[in-house]
Amino acid sequence: MVIFDCLEFSAELRLVDPVDELAYLSVECALLGAQWLGLALFERVTPALESQTPHRLFHLHAARRAVLRAGLALAHLLDPVPRVPQKWEPLAGRYLTLAEQALDSLGAI
């Protein structure tokens, strides 16, 4: 499996924290309705990493990324004439729900 993203051009940037990148991908997959995919991918990929990565770190990264995406969605409303203004608040709410779910997963572990 090969995953390409915006940082594919730079190995130094791309490999900073693979768990963070997997958590970010997990958030986006969950947003699109494939919530099961992120954790499954994490569990499949992490054995190939050089260090043991706790599930708690994955969920913490997912929560942080979801909150970041919620903020970016709301930032669109700061534009003088936001494109599709009715889109951003519900999208931010969906990201915040995903952040809450990731934080809830911290307590379940």
pLDDT tens, residue by residue, 38-89: 999 999 988 888 778 889 999 999 999 999 999 999 999 999 999 999 999 9
**CA within 13 Å, CB half, 87:** 8
Q: 101: closest CA among 40, 53, 56, 59?
A: 59
Q: How many CB atoms lie within 10 A of CB 98?
A: 24
Q: Does this model's pTM top 0.75?
A: yes
* Residue 51: predicted pLDDT: 74
* Residue 49: predicted pLDDT: 81
